[in-house]
Structures are given as structure tokens and as C-alpha cells.
Amino acid sequence: MTVTSPRASPTTRSGIATSFRSALAKPLAPYYLILGSTVMLTSLGLVMVLSASSVESYAASGNSWAIAQRQAMWVVIGVPALVVASRLPAVWFRRLSLPILVLSIVLLVLVLIPGIGVSVNGNQNWIEVGGSFRIQPAEAAKFALVLWSADLLTRKRKLLHQNKHLLIPFLPVAAVIIGLVLLGGDLGTSLILMAIVAGMLFIAGAPLRVFLGLGAPALALILFMTFQRSARLSRLQSFMDPFADYQGTGWQAAHSMFALASGGWWGVGLGASREKWGALPEAHTDFIFAIIGEELGLVGTLTVLLLFGAMILGALRIALATDDLFVRFAAGGIVVWIGVQMVINIGGVLSVLPITGVPLPLVSYGGSALLATMFALGMLLAFARNLPGARQALSQRRAARWRPRLPGARTR
């Protein structure tokens, strides 16, 4: 009697890989990868913000739904912004790049003015807009930097082999934005902005000596900002071993590890987290990934990683498939922004990176971050709709959807 192994044969695995590559090669693959991952991550974020914030929300206002309701309001605002952005041609984003940049810089300056800017957790990076609502201009600055630099580098495409044209005025303007964010004390967002600068230069084909020349002062600046504030230095010292100062700087990282460890494979159940009962600070913002791990287990955390992977893969497909240099620069910049921010957030939750206080895109609580990210993803959807063959494929699907069927006709 022949016994067959349950493991897939090489022929089967080869067929699956071929089917996967074939699916990715379809014109609408980037569109659906980005759209599907955006919808699922935003929906998961709403559910997890409700779960992670319910205890804190009830303690602060007597309403377990208060924080989640505010997040839902931002989603309601963000969805139309995403839809509008997904219908705009690339030329409109180029026209908007400079006004958005100027507006972002003005708002970053306003943040530093006493009486206008608001300090939260030691960082002055918020502007009060009424009631309990605040906006964080640094989130819009990420998108502004990507958009403006993509337009600038596209206009200078024939001169990018000269370092002076590659770096000026791109580098001075980026330095102004990063400097304003650092003046507010937000090192985490500054790291993401620095990554965007490096990513745009890489896409533009900057030589290695440019990265070496910029890397040394950037590292010196990061170290200076770290040693300037004792809380940052303590976090840097404790992230390797949170239990060395369990009752102090290691508390948050240690309880993040407790949450992930107690989740196991399948989690303790949605809403059943124990760490959100005051043990884990910022459970619904910077450390929402730990609550996902506790309530939904390893399966839940891997699902989040797969969704981000699908989003980044779709954006990379846009950058590689397009003939429009601006689209390539902008899509690449969004990949760096979302990818680096995801890695910094999850790395802090897993204690493999120091805690920097940046949110998990689309999932963590926060209106400013959500709106900026959704508008950027709407722009990617607009790019995906205009890839070669994509618009024709969308038209054919719409026609098939609305084509009248004759009575008695068979449907496939």
C-alpha cells in the first residue's frame, strides 16, 4: 500500500507559486491589494481601539465607547478623503504638493508658539482645535514631504546625476521640517521623516557617498536628542532588558511582553485583555499591537503583518509598473513612510527596538495620523487605477456588473 505524504509536492508548490505570480501580474492586483488591506486594517483598528480603550474611556468619562466613537468619527471623515484622492489624476497631486508643504510648515511653526501648541507626554506637537480634539501637524508633514519631494525630483530628473541638484533645495527644506518636529520634542516622527528623505534619495539613484555623508550627522543628531532627555536615555538603556528596571522605565515594555505571551496562538478572546486594565500604558495608541496579540493571539498579529505586507507589495507594484516618474517617487515614498513606521511601532512593542511613541498606521487611535495615511493611500489607489491596463479592466468589470441579463439566461 502506498502512503502519500500530506505535504504538498514540488509540482503543487510550483503551481501555487505560478498562480500567485500570475495574480500579481494582473493590472488590477495593486489596486485590490491596497484597497483590501486598507479596509481590513481600518476595520480591525476600530474594533481594537474600542476593546483596548474601553476601560480607560470608562474611567475618564463614564462611557466605554467615548474614545472609540471619536476614532469612528475620524474614519467617517477619512473615508471620503480617501475616495476623493482615489479619483484625482496625478497632475493634481503635483499641483497640491507645494501648498500642502507650505501649510504643513506653517502648522509646525504654530505648534511651537505658547498658547497655540499643546504639550502631551513631554512633546509639544499638538494644536488644540476645540474641546478634546487636537491635530498633530507632524503627521501631515510626512505626506507633504513625500508629495513635494516627488514633484521636485521629477522636475529635476535630468539633473539628478549632479549632487547639488539632487540635494538642493530638497535637503534644506527637509531639514527645516525635521528641525521643527525636533524642536517640539518628537524624535519618533523625526526618524520617520529622516527615513523618507533617505528613501527618496535612494529612489533618485543617489550614490553611496551621499548616504555616508548624511548618515553621520543624522546619527549624531539622534544621539544628541536621546541624551538630551533622561526619559529617552532610560528607554534606550532598558529596551534590551525591560525587567532590569521593571517598576520604572521597563514597565511598559515588560507588560507589552506579558500581553503578547499570554495571547498564545489564538488569544484570550476579543475584549478579554487583562493588560488594558491599567497595567499597559497607551494600550489603544502606541501599544495596540500588544493588545491584538493578547486578545487575538499569534494568528491576529501575523494577520496584521500580512495585511501590511499586502499594502506595501501593492505600492511597490505601482512604483515598478508605472512609466510616470512622479508616481514612482510618490509610491516609493509612501512605502518607506508606512513600512518604517510599522517596523518602529511593532519593534517597540516586541522590545527589539527602543520605544519611540509612534502609532501603528490605520490601527492605532489618532485622527491626524489616520487622515494623513488614508489620503496617502487614496493617492496610491488613484495611481493604481491608471496603471497600464487597469482602467480598461475596471471599465470592463463595471460593464459586466451592469449588463442586463435576459430572462432564463445562465449565469456563470
Domain ranges of the chain: 28-385
Q: In the chain, what's the furthest Cα-to-Cα distance?
A: 83
**How far lies 155's CA from each of 19, 93, 158, 166, 224, in Å?**
39, 14, 8, 11, 35
Write down the pTM of the prediction. 0.91
**Long-range contacts for 175-180 (Cβ within 8 Å, ≥24 apart)?**
176/105, 177/104, 177/105, 177/108, 177/141, 177/144, 177/145, 180/105, 180/108, 180/109, 180/111, 180/112
What is residue 308's three-state secondary structure? helix
Residue 409 reports pLDDT greater than 70: no
- The β-bridge partners of 114 are 117
Q: Which residue has the higher pLDDT, 298 or 228?
A: 298
Phi, psi of 363 (to 5 degrees): -105, -45
Q: Reduce the DSSP state of residue 134 to 3 states and report it.
A: strand
3-state DSSP call for residue 156?
A: coil
What was the pLDDT predicted at 304? Answer: 98
Q: Give the residue with greater pLDDT, 164 vs 411.
A: 164
Query: Model confidence over 20-75: pLDDT tens digits?
Result: 677 777 878 999 999 999 999 999 999 999 999 999 999 988 999 999 999 999 99
**For 152-192, how does the pLDDT look when each residue is reduced to its tens digit (9 = 90+)?**
999 999 999 999 999 999 999 999 999 999 999 899 999 99
Joined grid coordinates for residue 82: 480617501
pLDDT of residue 9: 64
DSSP label of 403: P
